[in-house]
Structure 1
Amino acid sequence: MRDDASWDEDVRLAVFRAFAAHGRAPSAPELADAAGGSLAVAKQALHRLADAHHLVLDECEHVVLAHPFAAKSLGFSVMGSHTLWWGGCAWDSFAIPHLVDGEPEVLVATRCPGCGQPHALVVNRTEPPEGTQVAHFLVAAARMWDDVLHTCGNQRLFCCESCVDAWLAETGQAKGSVLDLVTLWRLARGWYEGRLERGYRRREPGSAAAYFAETGLTGPFWAAAAGV
């Protein structure tokens, strides 16, 4: 008899592979197929996966986030040669070409929250995109899962740091961490490695902090907690 962990992994793979291939969450029949024909078993697995921070469910038990993929707009569209995705945030949008084998280059489109300027960047696996834009991360690493939709909605691309400062002044929020495009690309490059494969394991705090440090992100903001 199969245990919960075995069903969880089958359902997890069904979710992530549907997003990767089609830019959407799996349908109810697809979820049921992954759980031996039982939608009830699939939904139980989804809740366990959400509790373990593999994905995010809404109040109707629909998958809304399966990093780096999103089921709704959080400020980024990511267009490949064959698939169009919603990117969960700046970090996730830059990660998609590194994760999806058949899409080595994508067009990431967004608007600056500070001034509304549209931005479109070609992101690939080979080298960081050129540009003077910056990413601003509002929520520190240790608190990212407190309200992950809020966190992702506030990992955005701005024209420059002055646009970040203007947006913070307008919204009354404290400054977080500002990354140039090279650092953002390095952060995204290997963070989700193996997520589409069986047996994927999330990083523990120590390995997460070490990964951040390798990309040049250190200090209290990037001190990782369990579940990052």
Structure 2
Amino acid sequence: MPLSDHAERTRITLYRHFAATGRALDTAGLAADTGQSMDEVRADLAELAAARHIVLAGEEVVLAHPFASRSFRFSVMGADTLWWGGCAWDAFAIPHLVPDAPSVLVATTCPACESAHAWTVTNERAPAGEQVAHFLVPAADIWPDAAHACENQQIFCDEGCVDAWLHRTGNTRGDVLSLTTLWNLAAHWYDGRLDSPYERRDPTRAAAYFREVGLRGPFWGLPDGA
């Protein structure tokens, strides 16, 4: 369902501020920038959260994918701006989305052994590296708790570290992606999000996108072998 005009105005104001500054606008800031009352902005934020454009904690915007207002273990440093990436997927997406940041330094630590990792991620090609991304939560289950799903989209040294982390945490193995597959996933997922109006992909379009970038199977909402 399309957003109301005022919720879309709040959404694009929030997203463009995140893109430009790396920070979220609070309710007062959004009210000032959109010319609405605080109560109107609160209603807009509730509409945006219900439509899965943002994740809220109270009135705080925690996630406006691919941007985050707190650490999810990924820093993304451009020439002039420092962002928090909401997850491995989001961190790799920022140089594709933000016009002034076609090349960024993405940094994180392995959740299993705490080894530090950093890559120059551009909008032209995937970074080199033997590290792997592990996605714990299947695509169809990311919502309603998208913050939990993002906290569990992490990059590990290798599959040995993935296995060690799964053993320690008691989690069930999800899907493991190479850095190239992660980059392909991130490259066009957020196309148009800094434009207005913007419409989220429905599940059918999302599944088609996953197939196009080489992801397969029920974890991504696709039949086995699709």
Aligned to 1:121: 119
Counterpart residue number, 1:43: 42
Aligned residue in 1 for 2:92: 94
Letter in 2 for 1:10: R
- Residue 179 of structure 1 corresponds to 177
Superposition RMSD on alpha carbons, in Å?
A: 1.1
**Mapped partners of 2:28, 2:53: distance in 1:** 21
Instruction: Give the counterpart letter for 2:89 in structure 1.
Output: W
Compute the displacement of 1:212 (Å): 0.3
Tell me which residue corresponds to 1:134: 132
From 101, 104, 119, the equivalent of 1:103 is: 101
Letter in 2 for 1:8: A
Task: Give the SS at the match of 1:114.
Answer: coil
Task: After TM superposition, give the deviation of residue 40 of structure 1 in Å.
Answer: 1.2
Map 1:143-154; keep pairs closer than 5 Å: 143-154=141-152
**How far apart in 1 are the matches of 2:175 and 2:159?**
11
Distance in 2 (CA, whole Å) between partners of 1:39 and 1:76 is 31
Instruction: Show CA shifts across 1:183-217 (max 9, x none).
Output: 00000000000000001100011110010011111
CA distance in 2 between partners of 1:35 and 1:7 (Å):
9
Q: Please give the alpha-carbon distance, in whole angstroms, between the structure 2 residues aligned to 1:132 and 1:43.
A: 44
Question: Structure 1: which 4+ aligned runs deviate by more than 2 Å?
Answer: 27-30, 33-37
**Which range is displaced more, 193-202 or 33-42?**
33-42
Aligned to 1:63: 61
Q: Distance in 2 between the 1:140 and 1:34 partners?
A: 37
Question: Which sections of structure 2, spanning at least 5 residues, go unmatched?
Answer: none
Q: Secondary structure at the match of 1:72?
A: coil
In structure 1, C-alpha distance between the alignment counterparts of 2:27 and 2:171, rounded to whole Å: 40
Q: Which residue of 1 aligns with 2:8?
A: 9
Q: Is the 8 A contact 1:34 1:42 kept in 2?
A: no
CA distance in 1, matches of 2:214, 2:117: 25
How many corresponding residue pairs?
A: 220
Query: Identity over aligned residues, as a percent?
Result: 55
Preserved contact between residue 113 and residue 158 of structure 1 (Cα < 8 Å): yes
1:26, 1:114 → 2: CA distance?
34
Per-residue CA deviations over 1:95-152 (Å, capped at 9, x if unaligned) read 0000000000000000000111000111001100000000000000010013111100
Please, which moves more after superposition, 188-197 or 29-38?
29-38
SS at match of 1:185: helix
Tell me which residue corresponds to 1:210: 208
Contact 1:56/1:66 (CA < 8 Å) preserved in 2? Answer: yes
Distance 2:33 2:210 in 1: 34
1:18 corresponds to: 17
Task: Tell me, yes or no, if the aligned pair for 1:14 and 1:30 is still in contact at 8 Å.
Answer: no
Q: Do the aligned residues in 1 keep the contact of 2:136 with 2:175 (CA within 8 Å)?
A: yes
Asked whether the 8 Å contact 1:10–1:34 carries over to 2, the reply is: no
The DSSP-based 3-state class of the residue aligned with 1:85 is strand
Normalised by the length of structure 1, the TM-score is 0.94
Aligned to 1:168: 166
TM-score, normalised via structure 2 length: 0.95
Structure 1 residue matching 2:8: 3-state secondary structure:
helix
Unaligned runs of 5+ in 1: none
Q: Aligned to 1:191, what secondary structure does the other structure show?
A: coil
Q: Which residue identity is paired with 2:176?
A: V
Corresponding residue of 2:217: 219
Q: Residue 39 of structure 1: CA displacement?
A: 1.5
SS of residue in 1 equivalent to 2:80: coil
Output the CA distance in 2 between the equivalents of 1:220 and 1:13: 33
